[in-house]
Amino acid sequence: MERVKCLIAGSGPAGYTAAIYAARANLKPVIYSGMELGGQLTTTTVIENFPGFPEGIDGTLLVENMKSQAERLGVEIRIGSITKCDFSERPFRLQIDNSAEIEADTVIVATGASAKFLGIPGEQKFRGSGVSACATCDGFFYRKRDVAVIGGGDTACGDALYLSSMCNKVHLVVRRDVMRASKVMQERVMSRDNIEVHWLTQPEEILGDENGVTGLKVLDKKSGESNIIPVWGIFEAVGHHPNSEVFSPWLKMDENGYIITENGSPKTNIEGVFAAGDVADVHYKQAITAAAAGCKAAIEADRYLQTL
Ligand code: NAP
């Protein structure tokens, strides 16, 4: 069976940064990319808060640059996902895509998080024909149409701004009377003429016909009445859940599935297994904090290997 010194699961900023550091420490890291190659950055538009890019940088380009940097340093990047693992003894054993097994002396879990959906009626039926969680992937299909974005975080604001440049009108549906997005994003949303914010509004049902979505039924919490917002596309931006399930038999997690690490370090409850990025981050969830966590994980993996 193949055995590697350092196996990294995930190909977002945490995984690539861990790989860059591990490669420079001569750990010959192997990355398994996971289902979403490049992670969440590939679903965003311009990133303005990653230091080093005065004009901002496209999210996909940023993560592609990380990949190129890792490859130049000799990191092996393989397409595949961890489908099972056994951390009961060293070397650790991991199964890839329900078939091949591999042994690893250290594992860095950087599997990130995936978009949540609301679970309201109509949502499943119209996923792919009007309901999406990725404005940059699907926005193009709704050019000159009216669309809705659900959520009040940075993702929702970013999606609304992105869509407002190609759609006729964007309805931003926010369940409270405040948004949790950063102030700068909120200000941009408020100053865009074709974005209408629906405060205190809870989505209830996605309506449609054989051609796809026709509207979003919402509860206006101020009046207590239900209304229909006529739209062709609905973009959900209601947060993310950590991609940690496959590790749940072994790693300690909180009630929402975030991997618990030791006070600010990437160490998990299993010596030699580290967690970095959004899969272990309840609070910050930024590209830069994920990259920093990946760096720490690789340094700790190297230190751990020196003790063996
Ligand atoms: P988020 O901050 O968790 O926001 C999720 C939004 O969805 C909240 O407004 C929440 O409302 C709403 N929501 C959740 N469940 C809902 C439901 N059942 N019905 C209606 N609304 C619901 O998620 P995010 O926007 O994806 O951001 C995640 C992290 O990534 C944040 O730390 C953010 O700063 C970061 N991020 C950064 C950037 C950037 O810096 N460029 C871009 C995108 C994301 P409540 O507020 O009422 O809970």
Ligand 1, CB cutoff 6 Å, lining residues: 44, 47, 49, 118, 150-156, 158, 175-176, 180, 237-240, 285-286
Answering whether pTM is above 0.85, one says yes
- Active-site position among 97, 137, 177, 254: 137
**What would the two tokens of residue 5 be?**
């010194």
pLDDT of residue 44: 81
pLDDT band of 137, cuts 50, 70, 90: confident
Residue holding tokens 């010194």?
Answer: 5
Mean pLDDT score of the chain, rounded to an integer? 96
Q: Could you say which DSSP state residue 176 is in?
A: S
Domains of the chain in sequence order: 3-114+240-306 (3.50.50.60), 117-236 (3.50.50.60)
Q: What are the two backbone dihedrals, phi and then psi, of residue 166, each rounded to the nearest 5 degrees?
A: -125, -20
CB atoms within 10 A of CB 207: 19
Sign of CA dihedral 262, 94, 110, 4: positive
Which atom of ligand 1 approaches the CA of 283 most closely?
32
Query: pLDDT per residue over 84-116, tens digit each?
Result: 999 999 999 999 999 999 999 999 999 999 999
d(CA 159, CA 189): 10
**What would the two tokens of residue 130 be?**
């009007």
As a whole number, mean pLDDT of residues 215-226 equals: 98
- Active-site position among 58, 86, 134, 220: 134
Percent of the chain exceeding pLDDT 90 equals 94
d(CA 170, CA 175): 16
pLDDT of residue 45: 80
Q: Could you say which DSSP state residue 145 is in?
A: S
Q: Is the pLDDT of residue 28 over 90?
A: yes
CA angle at residue 12 from 155 to 248, to 5 degrees? 95
